[in-house]
């Protein structure tokens, strides 16, 4: 499947180690390392990256970027250390939010931190890229959260990746004017609701 997305023009593969998210340790390191080796496009991985050692294990396995979620709130010093040791361009902070507030531990816990507050904290630590997911829209094919993505682009100096709710090529096209750096499409690819080659072409045309 990864080769298919590459063949259809996907510029990057986003992989989530769901079992790793539960344990806090890489659960599929060998499998994902094999995927990295089989592709010519870069791969970024998230799921359970809660320590600098785990981040290093993924980067040593050939992953281009690590995507850090819960630890950004609970262990910001770790995020800063990964940026220092490996370069900020190899770090993405993932912000999953419900009603504007950051959710933790695979969406099971609410925090008292709002999205923009966390984004500014991460900027201060040297993080340059943020992945924003609206939990209510993720996997629901309900359309992306245009307003929050646009706000993050406007009010931070970070490159923003949009995720959640994309259900059509038109949704991808609607995200372009917000200024986001990229769009992560998941379920809609597997259901056939989004044709990847068409989506890539739509973004290229702006």
User: CB–CB of 162/183 below 8 Å?
Assistant: yes
| Res. 206: pLDDT tops 80 | no
**What does the block give as tokens for 76?**
């910001």
Residue corresponding to tokens 């995720």: 163
pTM over 0.85: yes
How far apart CA 44 and CA 14 sit, in angstroms, is: 5
Residue ranges per domain, the chain?
2-205
Query: How far apart (Å, rounded) are the C-alpha atoms in residues 140 and 145?
Result: 12
Q: Which of 75-89, 97-111, 114-128 is least confident?
A: 97-111
Would you give the end-to-end CA distance of the chain in angstroms?
A: 27
Average pLDDT of span 138-142: 66
The confidence score (pLDDT) of residue 36 equals 98
Taking residues 93-119, what's their average pLDDT? Answer: 83
Q: Is the pLDDT of residue 154 over 80?
A: yes
Provide the H-helix boundaries in the chain: 2-7, 18-23, 29-38, 52-60, 71-74, 76-86, 115-124, 146-155, 169-175, 187-191, 196-205
pLDDT at residue 77 greater than cutoff 90: yes
In whole angstroms, what is the distance from residue 146 CA to residue 33 CA? 34
Q: Given this model, what pLDDT does residue 101 score?
A: 86
Q: What is the pLDDT of residue 141?
A: 65
| Residue 64, Cβ density class (10 Å: 0-12 exposed, 13-18 middle, ≥19 buried) | middle
Residue 104's pLDDT band, with cuts at 50, 70 and 90, is: confident
φ and ψ at residue 77, rounded to 5 degrees:
-60, -35
Q: What DSSP string describes 96-126? A: EEETTEEEETTTTEEEEEEHHHHHHHHHHTT
Whether the pLDDT of residue 107 is over 60: the answer is no
DSSP secondary structure letter of residue 180? -
- Compare 205 and 24 and report the one with higher pLDDT: 24
Better-predicted residue by pLDDT, 206 or 31: 31
Indicate the Cα dihedral angle 90, 164, 190, 2, nearest 10°.
0
CATH (residue range 2-205) = 3.20.20.70
The pLDDT, as a whole number, for residue 25 is 87
């Amino acid at each position: 499947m990864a080769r298919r997305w590459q063949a259809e023009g996907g510029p990057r593969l986003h992989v989530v180690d769901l079992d790793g998210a539960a344990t806090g340790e890489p659960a599929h390191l060998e499998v994902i390392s094999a995927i990295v080796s089989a592709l010519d496009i870069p791969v970024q991985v998230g799921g359970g990256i809660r320590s600098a050692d785990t981040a290093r294990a993924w980067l040593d396995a050939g992953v281009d970027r690590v995507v850090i979620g819960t630890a950004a709130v609970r262990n910001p010093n770790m995020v800063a250390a990964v940026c220092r040791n490996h370069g900020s361009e190899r770090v993405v902070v993932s912000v999953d939010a419900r009603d504007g507030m950051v959710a933790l531990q695979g969406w099971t816990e609410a925090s008292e931190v709002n999205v923009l507050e966390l984004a500014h904290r991460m900027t201060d630590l040297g993080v340059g890229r943020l992945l924003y997911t609206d939990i209510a829209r993720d996997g629901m094919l309900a359309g992306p959260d245009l307003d929050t993505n646009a706000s993050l682009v406007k009010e931070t100096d970070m490159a923003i990746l949009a995720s959640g709710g994309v259900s059509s090529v038109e949704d991808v096209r609607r995200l372009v004017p917000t200024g986001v750096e990229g769009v992560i499409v998941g379920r809609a690819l597997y259901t056939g609701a989004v044709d990847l080659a068409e989506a890539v072409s739509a973004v290229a045309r702006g």
